[in-house]
Amino acid sequence: MFLVVLLVSTFACTSQNTHKEEFGKLVDLLADQMSDEIEAVVIIPLENACSSCSQMTIVKLPRMEEIEKSSIHLIFTARSGKLIEETLTDAGLEDFQIQKDPKYEAWKMGMVDNNPSYYLLKGGKLIEKGGITFENVDEQLLKISKHLEKS
């Protein structure tokens, strides 16, 4: 029993420290754009990525209804500013806060891998993070929507 309690408390501390570290990376990545108004960050890789996962996320984001889209910060990461610009053309994302990451910093910092990632924030703290795949895009965007409704 003691071992179970010890493992649970160790995991909780490790998880809390990981969230603080991840939040610090978000602050670095967002630089002067970080504010209390940002309640969710979605990082979408455009290179070395599951193109179906990224594309489905891009297509479904504008369809999210009854949420304050300006409280979602989208970061598009690639090694090519041109690729980011081409992706954003006619994507219908003008209601969101958008950041372009043509230096691939999010990838270098480990904030995203081959699938889009989301980070849910509240009160200046990271409360949850996860990945978005082709299979779970609807479920994850619903989770983001519910988080924004609570805020």
pLDDT digits (tens, 9 = 90+) for 78-136: 999 999 999 999 899 999 999 999 999 999 999 999 999 999 998 888 899 999 999 99
What is the CATH number for 108? Answer: 3.40.30.10
State yes or no: pLDDT of 151 exceeds 60: yes
Task: State the average pLDDT over residues 19-40.
Answer: 67
pLDDT of residue 14: 44
pLDDT of residue 8: 36
Based on its alpha-carbon atoms, the radius of gyration of the chain, rounded to whole angstroms, reads 16
Total tally of structural domains belonging to the chain? 1
Range of the domain at 55: 2-150
Look at 20 and 15; give whichever has higher pLDDT.
20
Q: What is the pTM of this model?
A: 0.82
pLDDT digits (tens, 9 = 90+) for 112-128: 999 999 999 988 888 99
Cα(11)–Cα(9) distance, integer angstroms: 5
Interstrand relation of 72-77 and 117-122 (parallel, antiparallel or unpaired): unpaired
State yes or no: pLDDT of 13 exceeds 50: no
Q: Could you tell me the pLDDT band of residue 59, with boundaries at 50, 70 and 90?
A: very high
pLDDT of residue 4: 36
